[in-house]
Structure 1
Amino acid sequence: MRWYALPCLLALWLAGAAVAEEAMPPLRYCDYPVYPPISWEDAAGEIRGVAPRAVHAVLGRLGLEVEMVVLGNWRRCLTDAAEGRVDLVIAYRSPEREAYLAFGREPLLQEEVALFYHRDRPLEVTRLDDLARYRGGLLFGESYGPRFDAFIEARGAVERVASNHQNFGKLIRGRIDYIAHERRTGELLIERMPGAEAIEVLPLTLAEDALYFAVARHSPLARRLDDLDREVASLVASGRIEAWLRQSRQAYRREAPLPEELP
């Protein structure tokens, strides 16, 4: 009887080993919630928006647990991903980031980068090179594609800060000439921001880029990029991302805390 039992015991051991190999601890998703309707924090301190909702939906469909990490600025999220403390971010692709992040192939959504300026100090800009004569504002860690990043590195005069609130305050006070920002986020921010009535946006689209699931190369999740792509493609094709964008925009207007006066 013992010999007959051995094949069964071996099969059970192999099955257990396979399950153990596939099992993952909770995955750490890092968010910097200052980009409504993509990611924002409501009055109760809950992180809302399309990005965290998509992360929970995709990982949930794969049977994976997720733990959200919120840090003080976007650069810290990227640094923690590079140094092994974070598994996943939602980000734009760039050559620098590809050194430590494995990007999916399926874009979660497309973004337009626009220029915000003070109506009393209009910009004469019809192409990227025209920005060389102006001083701009960006957040720490922001990247808007290889062409824009290369221009800023070579010829752009920019000041980087930790928050949109601070950035728009500098624009109002005349300390910078423009802010490069996602169009839909910037337009939503200035709807509710005290003192921002004088801020306008150029119709020019400075750049177009896509947000992707980006997995730290150290993470066990990097082995499942194909699974992530399949679920992201399903979300987009179903129309849920566009529906979540509309819902998040409406919820932000109702439920986000009112911003303080601009500094």
Structure 2
Amino acid sequence: MRAVFCAFLLIFLSLSVRAECTALTASGNAEYPPYLWRASHNSDALDGAITRLMTTLGERIGIPVQMQFVGPWGRTQEEVANGNIDLIAGAFYTQARSERMDYIRPAFQETRSVLWVRNDNVFAYSRLDDLVGKRGVTVINNSFGQAFDEFAKAHLEILQVGGLEQALRMISNGRVDYLVYEEQPGLAYIERARIDNLQMLDVPVSSEALYLTMSCKSACNTPALKERISAELELMRQEGLMDQYLELARGQWQGQ
């Protein structure tokens, strides 16, 4: 169904009179250091490793990629799905997203989503069933992979709050039993806030790939452009650019 939907949109766009794609807009989760974060509270700019990667991608394909802050993560996904922004730079695969966006392969990063617990409330975790009966928290509109999302919806009690800082306060103050979030962003916030009563459990809840997605409604969504982007992402993956950019971004985030 998604493929048919996108195909009809592309046919419609191809019949429309429009200028050649000369620029791409992109956004992502702005509470996602060292991958992405808002440059300042009153800025529309995004800093981080993904911004560096998108800048390099734009240079290589000859079409600049402009990273923009457009609001909370939920709104960002809607802006891309509606075609107001061309790309999400950093999204896990979910069926719902795939019906409104094209996933460009290969993935540019592999990530782990993990559990944080208070030092005085550590519990054994080896599988999702171990979370049944406990109270968790995460950030609204976050996905931790299709398998986890489906299990959580059916069996777990996980509160969804507006931002990671709020979620960290809730777990640190003992209002919930665990926080589920991605490893690198969670560590970045915890270290900078100097929260010392939390620890990360060893076993991840999921390991997922981060993709670049293009809106089915984007005027730049053409097979030729997606092939060019895919080829450059593969070259950058082979060169290990994302690891280099992550190291630079960690230092930048901690120094703010």
TM-score by length of 2: 0.86
Deviations 1:157-191 (A, max 9, x none): 11111211100001112221111111122122211
* Cα distance change, pair 124–133 in 1 and its aligned pair in 2 (3 A): farther
> CA deviation digits over 1:73-131, x for unaligned, max 9?
11111111122211100211111110101001201010011101111122232111211
1:89 paired residue number = 88
1:70 maps to: 69
Contact 2:53 2:245 in 1 (8 A): no
Structure 2 residue 66 is the aligned partner of structure 1 residue 58 = no
Whether the 8 Å CA contact 2:38–2:69 is kept in 1: the answer is no
Q: Paired residue for 1:23?
A: 20
Deviation (angstroms), 1:236: 1.2
Deviation at 1:245, TM superposition (A): 0.9
- Matched residues in 1 for 2:152 and 2:111: separation? 19
Q: Which residue of 2 aligns with 1:130?
A: 130
Root mean square deviation, CA, Å: 1.8
- Separation in 2, partners of 1:71, 1:175: 31
Structure having the higher Rg: 1
Gaps spanning 5+ residues in structure 1: where?
1-19, 256-263
Measure the CA separation in 2 of the matches of 1:115 and 1:47: 26
- Using the TM superposition, give the Cα deviation of residue 25 of structure 1 relative to its aligned residue in structure 2, in angstroms: 5.2
Distance 2:233 2:197 in 1: 38
Is the alpha carbon distance of 1:161 and 1:71 closer, same or farther for their aligned partners in structure 2, counting shifts above 3 Å? Answer: farther
Letter in 2 for 1:232: L
Identity among equivalent pairs (%)? 24
Distance in 2, matches of 1:30 and 1:156, equals: 30
Measure the CA separation in 1 of the matches of 2:26 and 2:138: 23
What SS does the corresponding residue of 2:170 show, helix, strand or coil?
helix
- Secondary structure at the aligned position of 2:105 is classed as coil
For the 8 Å contact 2:103–2:213, the answer to whether it is kept is: yes
1:38 alignment partner AA: Y
Matched, 1:155 2:155: yes
| 1:127 partner amino acid | R
1:50 Cα shift? 1.4
Gaps of 5+ in 2: 1-16
Instruction: State the secondary structure of the residue aligned to 1:221.
Output: coil
Aligned position for 2:201:
202
Equivalent pair of 1:73/1:140 in contact (CA under 8 Å): no
Letter in 1 for 2:253: Y
Deviating runs (4+, > 6 A) in structure 1?
Answer: none
Indicate the residue corresponding to 1:13 in structure 2.
none
Shift of 1:21: 6.2
For residue 226 of structure 2, what is the amino acid of its counterpart?
L
Q: Letter of the aligned partner of 1:242 in structure 2?
A: D
Alignment of 1:1-263 (within 5 A): 23-24=20-21, 26-42=23-39, 45=43, 46-90=45-89, 91-194=91-194, 196-223=195-222, 224-255=225-256
SS at match of 2:179: strand
Kindly provide the amino acid, as one letter, of the partner of residue 235 in structure 1. M
> Partners in 1 of 2:24 and 2:242 — Cα distance?
22
SS at 2:122's partner residue?
Answer: coil
